[in-house]
Amino acid sequence: AENEAQLRARIAQLWQTRVLRTRRLTVRDEIENVLTYYRSTFLHEIPRLYGELERLLGRPAPTFFRMGNWIGGDRDGNPNVDAGTLDFAVREHAETVLRHYLVQAHELGAELSMSLELVEVTPELQALADRSHDDSEHRADEPYRRALSGVYARLAGALRALTGREALRHALAPA
């Protein structure tokens, strides 16, 4: 019954959607549209597909899929593409990927709660945790969370440097 209701709602939505746009998309519109696909599919599904392939192969899969697009950087004579458009495209792409990784780091931090009282960690992980500058007494014996705190801080710093925008801890990526 729920599936049928959702299907009916989608059909109604399609009937109420115009087939053609009345105004031409701008290059910025095109950039934002393509990044919607990155956020809704590519950034989630490509790692999942690689993981499934590696599980089936029993070894790491070679890199065979690379994402890229020309939107905002095409120099084929489009008068609406200039250095400002390219700058906007690069910044928006960077923000999309960095915010995705920020959410992933936050979710991992919520999941990886292991305590040094109960587990041993590699020297490399301990060194990463020690370099994180996370001095919260609540996480003092949680090396995974401390390490991820450092990763999160570096990602947030990259976001700030590349886009001038802040990463709000615990915030979800824009939909």
pTM of the predicted structure, to 2 decimals: 0.80
- Between 121 and 171, the more confident residue is 121
Percent share of the chain, pLDDT over 90: 74
Predicted confidence at residue 170, as pLDDT, reads 54
So what's the pLDDT on residue 103?
Answer: 94
pLDDT attached to residue 44:
92
Buried b or exposed e, range 102-125, using 16+ CB within 10 angstroms: bbbbbeebeeeeeeeeeeeeeeee
Residue the block writes with tokens 């599919």: 41
Instruction: Give the position of tokens 């801080």.
Output: 153
pLDDT digits (tens, 9 = 90+) for 48-83: 999 999 999 999 999 988 888 888 888 777 888 999
pLDDT band, residue 171 (cuts 50/70/90): very low
How far is it, in rounded angstroms, from Cα 99 to Cα 173?
6
How would residue 175 be classed by pLDDT, with cut points 50, 70 and 90? very low
Are the CB atoms for 64 and 45 separated by under 8 Å? Answer: no
Q: What is the mean pLDDT of the chain?
A: 90
Rg (Cα) of the chain, in Å, rounded? 21
- The owner of tokens 């886009």 is 163
- Taking 70 as the threshold, does the pLDDT of residue 141 lie above it? yes
> What is the pLDDT averaged over residues 141-152?
95
- Residue 149 pLDDT > 70, yes or no? yes
Contacts of 16 (CB under 8 A, 6+ apart): none
